[in-house]
Structure 1
Amino acid sequence: MKINAEKIQKEGKSTVKDFFQVLIMVSLFSWLIGWRSVVPTSSLEPTIQAGDHIIISKLNYGAITPATPLQLPLIHGYGLDWISLPTFRLPGFSEVEKGDIVGFFYPPEDMPVDLKTIYLKRCVATPGDTIQIKNADVYINGQLMFDDVETQHQFEVFTENGLSKKKLEQLDLYHYDHNNDKTYPSGQRNFIVHISEQKAEVIRKDPHIKKVKSIVSREADFYPATRVPKKGDIVKLTPKNRQLYLPIILKYEDNNAKFVEGKVFIDGKEIKEYEVQQDYFFMMGDNRHNSLDSRFWGFVPEDHIYGKGTIVLFNLKEFDSSRMFKSL
């Protein structure tokens, strides 16, 4: 049999060409429109479960042009960070609104913006809002925020006797193990759980339950009245607000800034007030006692906004057909 080397070579080149064309098209789709993301933690329970595959849409807020153009296609977080470009946001369908589930680049990480880890939280305050948390109640501009969704808080549950695994599953009293999987330790008599107030009421009524006690956390359930920075705000820098504004001045905005011996310098000159250069947002998880969010590391800059969580596709770890293609 005669081998046509020229034909094989042409077909090989065509295959490689087709592969790169598909790769480019899929990469452009991912950059401009959105992509599927797997949620690794329980910070947005009960709205979003650990293991959920969701769609994060970039069309809503508009995609941001890459800061590091030489990223590996379809593999977030890997790329050559020695090339850095200015970025701008393409037009979107809407602004970030209170109540949106928002994907964003984790601000504290020290790397180019578009190589940072993508977090998913709910926006509870937008630029110019004043947020305060008192005894787990969230106040926006002095008004108590009534949640349209169930939020989870921390409770300690005491049982009359050690319950069987089957009963624990029925009550959904579980722990997360190191793989973020649910475990039901039979025989255990007390549990620290993250559940909604509604679920706590249901558990209280069960005859096997002795007591359900709410746990208040100074770190999670209290936050002083604070204005969320808005572009154009002029803030006076004091020892009290230094921790709040230093990341903005030193890391998130384009300043030649230094912090030396309790003083802030821009271009070598000490400043005592600062004009904010972009909008910021305050993000929180629905699972209030099991979420690392703005209460702990501060505001999310506008240029860190990645996209809007729109649809839960499925969850292979905790499969529930009723949650497939659930709109967020």
Structure 2
Amino acid sequence: MAGYFAIALVLATLVSGLIWLLDIYVLAPKRQQKLSAVQSASNDVPTALSDELLKEPQWVETAKSIFPVIALITIFRSFMYEPFQIPSGSMMPTLLVGDFILVEKFSYDVKDPVWRKTLYSNAKPQRGDVAVFKYPKQPTIDYIKRVIGLPGDRVIYRNKQLFIQPACTQELKSDCPALESIALSLKNEGEFYQQQYPQRRYTEQLGTVAHDILQTPARREYTELFYKQNGTAIDEFVVPDGHYFVLGDNRDNSGDGRFWGFVPEDNMVGKAVFIWMSFEFNTDENSWIPGWIPTGVRFDRLGSIH
């Protein structure tokens, strides 16, 4: 099921469109009939009276004026691009709080905006994609994470190191891929902090996709809270068919698949592709400026998402 805003937008489009059709086929002909009856009774009908008889009710006029706009917004938002705001730091340094992004809906299967049934089968999520999806435990909430494991993959996250064994496909039965550690290259330390702890910034290489992640060396892994899957180690995840395994780029500050499991393919919304605006916000608790008021624009962040 879609979120409340998507449902409200579709309902507004349907209601205003139905009112427009009602006016074309029912109300407008009745107004014309009234005018014709008056003209039959009198050869000299004042222009003001004629205009009054043909005038649309206010609610019809409003519906007809907003329908084209709402319909275009609904189509654009449902099937092409949808804007999102980043609310947390779980995807730092790729995405920061205050980033406004565009999510490409047609990157994956195209779904209807209310029941989210597939209308057109397109491409599947790929390893390394920054994807928006419906949170499996509460589908009215949208989450954004990076796709790490594809259906059939074996994923291990141990001692802050990621290991992946790609699924053994029918074509590779004789030579299945081995478990491999994902290459990390240290960029800097101390640029970001988690509470009082300095974080290390690495470049992680997921196949052909290179992206930056953050680790907090002083923070332990809460493996006792990890999602428990039958037949695997506590830090091991085997992705079921039709599902994906996702992680936040801020590895020690992200409630992701390690803690709640896998994302069904039907929950996928789209691929995050572009930062179109990025605001800075005041973080000083002693400041007179409320935290929700932007204090600056980070123009250097605008552009494609990797």
Q: In the TM superposition, what are the counterparts of 1:53-72 in structure 2 within 5 Å? A: 53-68=100-115
CA drift of 1:197 comes to: 5.0
CA drift of 1:194 comes to: 4.1
| 2:151–2:239 contact (8 Å) kept in structure 1 | yes
Deviations 1:282-319 (A, max 9, x none): 00000011111000011000110010000011112262
Q: In the TM superposition, what are the counterparts of 1:51-90 in structure 2 within 5 Å? A: 51-68=98-115, 87-90=117-120
CA drift of 1:322 comes to: 1.4
More helix by share: 2
State the match for 1:107 in structure 2: 136
| 1:127–1:228 contact (8 Å) kept in structure 2 | yes
Counterpart residue identity of residue 86, structure 2 = V
Which shifted more, 27-36 or 15-24?
A: 15-24
Which structure 2 residue ranges, 5 or more long, are not aligned? 1-47, 166-178, 204-215, 227-233, 281-295
Query: Is 2:302 aligned against 1:324?
Result: yes
Q: In the TM superposition, what are the counterparts of 1:1-328 in structure 2 within 5 Å? A: 4-6=51-53, 9=56, 13-68=60-115, 87-92=117-122, 94-109=123-138, 113=139, 116-141=140-165, 142-146=179-183, 175=195, 191-196=196-201, 214-219=217-222, 224-230=235-241, 279-317=242-280, 319-328=297-306
Q: What TM-score, normalized to structure 1?
A: 0.57
Q: What CA RMSD, in Å, does the superposition of the two structures yield over aligned residues? A: 3.2
Of all paired residues, the percent bearing the same amino acid is 24
CA drift of 1:325 comes to: 2.5
SS of match in other structure, 1:289: coil
CA distance in 2, matches of 1:301, 1:217: 29
CA drift of 1:25 comes to: 2.1
| 1:130–1:228 contact (8 Å) kept in structure 2 | yes
Larger Rg: 2
| 2:223–2:235 contact (8 Å) kept in structure 1 | no
Deviations 1:228-276 (A, max 9, x none): 111xxxxxxxxxxxxxxxxxxxxxxxxxxxxxxxxxxxxxxxxxxxxxx
Counterpart residue identity of residue 142, structure 2 = I
CA distance in 2, matches of 1:172, 1:216: 14
CA distance in 2, matches of 1:17, 1:195: 56
| 1:220–1:288 contact (8 Å) kept in structure 2 | no
CA drift of 1:101 comes to: 0.2
Counterpart residue identity of residue 117, structure 2 = T
Q: What TM-score, normalized to structure 2?
A: 0.60
| 1:194–1:290 contact (8 Å) kept in structure 2 | no
CA distance in 1, matches of 2:100, 2:66: 26
CA drift of 1:173 comes to: 5.4
CA drift of 1:100 comes to: 0.4
Counterpart residue identity of residue 107, structure 1 = P
CA distance in 1, matches of 2:69, 2:186: 40
Counterpart residue identity of residue 319, structure 1 = V
CA drift of 1:130 comes to: 0.2
Alignment length (residue pairs)? 211
Indicate the structure whose relative CO is greater, using CA pairs within 8 Å and at least 6 residues apart.
1
CA distance in 2, matches of 1:148, 1:54: 27
Counterpart residue identity of residue 218, structure 1 = E
